[in-house]
Structure 1
Amino acid sequence: MQAFYSDQFVLPLPEGHRFPMAKYRMLRDRIAAELSSIQLTEAPAATEGELALVHTPAYIDSILQGTAEPAVLREIGFPWSPAMAERALRSVGATVAAARVAMTEGLAANLAGGTHHAYAHKGGGFCVFNDLAVAARVLQAEWGRSRHPDGSRRQPLQVAVIDLDVHQGNGTASIFRHDESVFTLSLHGDKNFPFRKEDSDLDIPLPDGCADAEYLSTLEHALQELEGRFTPGMVFFLAGADPHEGDRLGRLKLTADGLEARDRRVLDWCWQRRIPAVITMGGGYGVNLEDTVGVQLNTYRVAASYRSRWAGLLVAA
């Protein structure tokens, strides 16, 4: 399985900043040491044209040129620097690259990404550009330009975003609110950030303290409802580690085993329907950062097992 990384672009954050920048390199190191079937590839930068499929020109320019207003940067939560802009481009580029791979190989990943708080015209919550939305738009555009072997045009590509970060994907929901070709599903903490939610196609708020059994049962019902309402040709799976019981910001009580079961259920749902999928990392703010990295490592261990199923299918074809 191919997984794209951009952890070499480290932001010069002020001391005491709560964003756990180190987790990205920690995860890559663990994957390199323990999951040899995962091919680690440096992420390309997204192009301005790709960003413009989702984001407004003025907002793109303000980030790339370093002219964003202080209030805009406060909402994002990062000070501007050349590294901040480059990291944002690479985070989006990684998801775009993973999506292209997944369309032919069944499954691929971004070891960062899941920047679901970014709107078309602004960022927020440590999210600069919305990698999920940009990658979905790039795939739809490329799919629309291709044709069937008989020369006929393809039907538009239907995309589902399964957002299982503990925080609602407000930016993604806003971007796709009136788009029937993209289905947004979000399971999230009811009383957690963002405190002003947007309307996804399917929102399921969870109470503080929600644990494994309730979460997994709720997820099962959500997947059933998704299937009853929509038929995706691609899934973007935001596999946040922040529902974990040891997360500083999560407020839920899922164990590592519960989160592994979550990942297995989503990827099995995709596999059973032969729907390609892209995994993005999302949030994770463990009191012990090793716990966060361990949860994410489990995600990629499960993903590697499903990628081997796709490999067998492709060989048989």
Structure 2
Amino acid sequence: MLKVAFSPIYRYELPQGHRFPMIKYDLLAQQLIYEGCLEEENFFHPQPIAEEWILRTHSKDYWDSLKKQTISAKAARKIGFPMSEKLVQRSKVIAQGTIDCCLAAQEYGVSLNIAGGTHHAYASHGEGFCLLNDFAIAANYLLDQGLAQQILIVDLDVHQGNGSAKIFENEPRVFTFSMHAAANYPFRKERSDLDIALPDLMDDGPYLQVLADYLPALLESLRPDIVLYLSGVDVLASDKLGRLGLSLNACAQRDQFVFSCCQKAGVPVAVSMGGGYSPQLRYIIEAHANTYRMAQKIYS
């Protein structure tokens, strides 16, 4: 059973003209149901996360500034969203959704969150459209609950997972692997456990070969209890915030390869969607939908 986290609050409306396409979450769910990839019973609706798990990863000062809406204008600009209580509530639901996906993945092999991948959030501040770091929160939850002893974050968004790298820089039980465009945001990178910085316009064949060179070996050497996979589709050549050159087909092959490797290794995988900013919304939806199609193909 493919379990997918989705909540109506994912549809949060930003001011008209904002470049972050929040509508994609709702449209993706509709598309997956329309084409028969998923049915209503595949979806579950996460609740807001308990504060104790936020504070396990994020500083109290930062969390209080979000919760009480006292965050400075400068800090809010760094995040990139106009702040509101509803936006903070949305982030709490997303974080719990990723935890729930981890638990479902341990039962079913794979589970996906139609949001998340907020890898630019640090312990003490947010940036890059990220308030709370859902993967970091979920990883700490699994470790603290004794549900995992070794976790592998596979971050294939076009942007480096700088917040995740910094949060776990001294945590050997969480291995951060980021494959990203070298010249893209963030312009001051953190040090992941393994960073693969890719040249501008790298296209299908070379990209997939690099992934094949590293992922199977990581799974074999680390033997993680779970993989947290950030499947950003801003690697597409059409993406206005990316610098790589992948086709839709290669992006789908990337997802299929990750799922196949994890299944072969017997490692459950929890997925968050990450970025996607192609000018035509249909390309974003199609690319994200391919992740679900590949999950169904591999795990059905």
CA deviation string 1:3-53 (max 9, x = no partner)? 001343444423321111111111011112121357012222111111111
Select 1:186's aligned residue among 170, 178, 192. Answer: 178
The answer (yes or no) to whether the contact 1:7–1:24 under 8 Å persists in 2 is no
1:4 alignment counterpart: 5
- Runs of 4+ with deviation above 6 angstroms: none
Q: CA shift at 1:227, angstroms? A: 3.4
Shift of 1:82: 1.6
1:135 maps to 2:138: yes
1:20 paired residue number: 21
Say whether residues 1:279 and 2:282 are aligned partners.
no
3-state SS of paired residue (1:237): strand
Deviates more, 1:121-130 or 1:13-22: 13-22
2:173 partner amino acid:
S
Structure 2 unaligned regions, length at least 5:
none
Partner of 1:196: 188
What residue is the counterpart of 2:243 in the other structure?
Answer: 251
1:219-238 matches, within 5 Å, as 219-227=211-219, 229-238=221-230
Q: Distance in 1 between matches of 2:278 and 2:208?
A: 21
| Shift, 1:92, TM fit | 0.6
Distance change in 2, residues 1:7/1:169 (3 Å): farther
Structure 1 residues 293-308: aligned runs within 5 Å: 293-308=285-300
Match of 1:122 in 2: 125
Quote the Cα distance in structure 1 between the aligned partners of 2:241 and 2:8.
22
Matching of residue 78 in structure 1 with residue 81 in structure 2: yes
The residue type paired with residue 197 of structure 1 is: K
Does the 8 Å contact 2:11/2:25 carry over to 1? Answer: no
- Secondary structure, in 3 states, of the residue corresponding to 2:145? helix
Query: In the aligned structure 2, how far is the partner of 1:229 from the partner of 1:107?
Result: 21
The CA deviation at 1:88 is: 0.7
Is contact 1:244–1:255 with CA below 8 Å preserved after alignment? yes
Aligned letter for 1:170? N
The corresponding residue for 2:67 is 64
Unaligned runs of 5+ in 1: 145-155, 309-317
Counterpart CA distance in 1 for 2:292 and 2:11 is 22
The sequence identity of aligned pairs, in percent, is 39
Output the aligned Cα RMSD: 1.4
Aligned pairs for 1:76-225 within 5 A: 76-143=79-146, 157-225=149-217
> Counterpart amino acid of 1:112?
A
1:306 deviation in Å? 2.5
Look up the SS of the partner of 1:109 in the other structure: strand
Q: Hey, what's the Cα distance between the residues in 2 that align with 1:44 and 1:255?
A: 36
Contact 1:210 1:252 in 2 (8 A): yes
Residues 234/9 of structure 1: CA separation in 2 closer, same or farther (3 Å cut): closer
SS of the aligned residue for 1:161 comes to: strand
The two structures have a TM-score, normalised by structure 2, of 0.95
User: Aligned with 2:14: secondary structure?
Assistant: coil
Report the counterpart of residue 53 of structure 1 in structure 2. 56
Counterpart of 2:281 in structure 1 is 289
In 2, Cα distance between the equivalents of 1:194 and 1:7? 30
Query: How far 1:260 moved relative to its partner?
Result: 0.8
SS in 1 for 2:28: helix
- Which segment drifts farther, 32-41 or 214-223? 32-41
The equivalent position to 2:38 in structure 1, one of 36, 44, 55, is 36
In structure 2, relative to structure 1, the CA distance for the partners of 1:12 and 1:105 (3 Å cut) is: closer
| CA distance 1:97–1:212, change in 2 (3 Å) | same
Letter matched to residue 277 of structure 1: V
Q: Counterpart of 2:178 in structure 1: which amino acid?
A: S
Shift in Å, 1:229: 4.1
Q: Distance in 2 between matches of 1:162 and 1:295?
A: 18
CA gap of 1:199–1:22, structure 2 versus 1, over 3 A, is same
Could you tell me how far apart the structure 2 residues matched to 1:10 and 1:70 are?
24
The aligned amino acid for 1:59 is: Y
Cross-structure match for 1:148: none
User: Secondary structure at the residue paired with 1:8?
Assistant: helix
Tell me the TM-score normalised to structure 1 length. 0.90
